[in-house]
Amino acid sequence: MRAVGLAVLPIVALLLAGMAAAQDRDRQWNSCLLYDEHGKLRAGASPELAIGACTAIIQSGQETTKGLARALNNRGIAYREKGEYDRAVQDLDEATRLDPNYARAFSNRGIAYGRKGQYDRAIQDFDQAIRLDPNDALAFYNRGNTYGRKRQYDRAIQDFDQTIRLDPNNAPAFDNRGTAYYGKREYDRAIEDLDEAIRLDPNHADAFINRGNAYARKGQHDHAIHDYDQAIRLDPNNAFAFNNRCFARAVVNRFQEAMADCNESLRLRPGYGNALESRGLAYLKLKKLDLALADYDAALQANPKNAFSLYGRGMTKWLKGDEAGADADIAAAKQISPDIAADFDRYGVRAP
C-alpha cells in the first residue's frame, strides 16, 4: 500500500504544478485586458499593469499565433492609453501582421493614429476593420469620430447612423451624432440626438455641455445655462462647462456670475483661451476696457487667428479710441469668420 502511495505522489505534484501554472497564466491574461467588452475600464486595471502582464505573455513562448496577436493588441491599447502612440502602433502593426483578419486590432490602431492626428491613416484602418467585421458598431463609431474631427459631418453622421443601427442604446453615438449636426448648424436635430443621449445616460456631463451649446446657438441661453448647471453638477472640475456657462451668463448680462465662472474655469485650466475671451466679452460689455483688452491679448497669444478674440479686441480698441488698431483687428476677424459681426450683435455688442 505504501508503494502505491509513493508512486502517486509525483503525479499529484505534477498536476498541482500544472494547475498553478494555468492559474498564473489566467491571472496574466486577466491583467493584460484593460477594458471590458463594453469599452469600460476594468476594476483594478491600469496601463502599467496591462503592459507588464501582456509582456509576460508575449515573452512566454507558449502562445499560439492568434494568442500572441491578442496580447500585442492588448498591450498596444495600454500604450495608447499612456499616450505612447508610436509604441502602440508598433504593437498593433505586429498584431495585424500575425492575424490579418483581426478586425479589432485594425480598429485599435486606427484610434492610435487618430490620437496622433493622422486622420486619413486612421480612416484606412477603420475601413479595413469594417470590411472584416461589418457588424462592429465600435469601428463605425470610431470612424465617425474621425470624420467629425475632419469636419466631414455628413460622413460622420452616416457612420453614427450605422453605430446606432447596430447598437441602439449607444449613448455616445447619439451624443456625437448630435455634435455633428451642431457642426452642420442643424441645432434642432442636434438637440433631438442629445436628448436621447441624456435619456440613455443621464450622468454623461459632455452631453449636457453639447446640448447647452446647441441651445446657446439658438439664442436660448436660459436653457443653455440649465444644461451647463447639470454638467457642472456631474463634473465639478470641468473647465469647459464653467467657461460655457460664463459665456452664456455674459450674453444675458449676468456679469457677476459670469466672472465667477470664468475665474473658476481658469483656475481649473490656467491660460485657457476660451475662458479668457469669454471673460473679455463680459469686461467689454461692462466697459471695463483695459481688463477686456488684457484678456483678449492673452487669448490671442495662445491662438493669434481666433476670430472671436480679434473681433472682441477690435471692438475694445474702438471704444478706447484706437480706430486704426480696431480696424485692423476687425478686418482680420472678418477674414477668418465673415459672420463674426452678426455673432457679436447677438451677444449684445454692436459693430461701429
Contacts of 136 (CB under 8 A, 6+ apart): 103, 104, 107, 129, 130, 166
pLDDT single digits (tens) 159-209: 999 999 999 999 999 999 999 999 999 999 999 999 999 999 999 999 999
Q: Is 129 exposed, middle or buried (0-12, 13-18, 19+ CB in 10 A)?
A: buried
pLDDT for 26 equals 75
Task: Tell me how far apart the alpha carbons of residues 298 and 309 are, in angstroms, rounded to a whole number.
Answer: 9
pLDDT for 197 equals 98
Report residue 59's pLDDT band, with 50, 70 and 90 as the boundaries. very high
pLDDT tops 70 at residue 109: yes
The distance of Cα 225 from the centroid of its chain, to the nearest Å, equals: 22
pLDDT tops 60 at residue 12: no
- Give the least confident one: 29-43, 79-93, 175-189, 321-335: 29-43
How far is CA 97 from each of CA 63, 67, 103, 130, 184, rounded to the nearest angstrom?
16, 13, 12, 17, 39
The rounded percent of the chain whose pLDDT value lies above 70 is 92
pLDDT tops 70 at residue 36: yes
- Whether the CB-CB separation of 135 and 36 falls below 8 Å is answered with no
Report residue 1's pLDDT band, with 50, 70 and 90 as the boundaries. very low
pLDDT for 11 equals 54
pLDDT for 30 equals 84
- The C-alpha cell at 276 is 479668457
- Amino acid type, 22: A
For the chain, what is the mean pLDDT? 92
200-206: long-range contacts, CB 8 A cutoff, minimum separation 24: 200/169, 200/170, 200/171, 200/174, 201/171, 203/234, 204/171, 204/172, 204/175, 204/234, 205/230, 205/231, 205/232, 205/234, 205/235, 205/238, 205/241, 206/175, 206/231
How far is CA 143 from each of CA 54, 55, 124, 311, rounded to the nearest angstrom?
27, 29, 9, 35
pLDDT for 223 equals 98
Report residue 28's pLDDT band, with 50, 70 and 90 as the boundaries. confident
Radius of gyration of the chain (CA): 27
What DSSP element (H or E) covers 78?
A: helix 65-81
CATH of domain 27-113: 1.25.40.10
Q: What is the mean pLDDT of residues 336-343?
A: 95
Number of H helices, E strands in the chain: 19, 0
**Which residues pair with residue 35 across a beta bridge?**
41
pLDDT for 311 equals 97
- Give the least confident one: 5-19, 63-77, 274-288: 5-19
Q: What is the mean pLDDT of residues 291-299?
A: 98
Report residue 23's pLDDT band, with 50, 70 and 90 as the boundaries. low
Report residue 341's pLDDT band, with 50, 70 and 90 as the boundaries. very high
pLDDT for 3 equals 45
pLDDT for 94 equals 96
**Which residues pair with residue 41 across a beta bridge?**
35
Sign, CA torsion 88/169/178/234: negative
**What proportions of the chain, in percent to the nearest 5, are helix, strand and coil?**
75, 0, 20
Name the superfamily (CATH) of residues 134-236.
Tetratricopeptide repeat domain (1.25.40.10)
| CATH 1.25.40.10 placement within the chain | 27-113, 134-236
Q: What is the mean pLDDT of residues 329-337?
A: 96
pLDDT for 7 equals 54
CA-closest candidate to residue 307, choices 279, 342, 260? 342
Q: What are phi and psi of 62, to 5 degrees?
A: -110, 0
- E strand spans, 135-240: none
Report residue 62's pLDDT band, with 50, 70 and 90 as the boundaries. confident
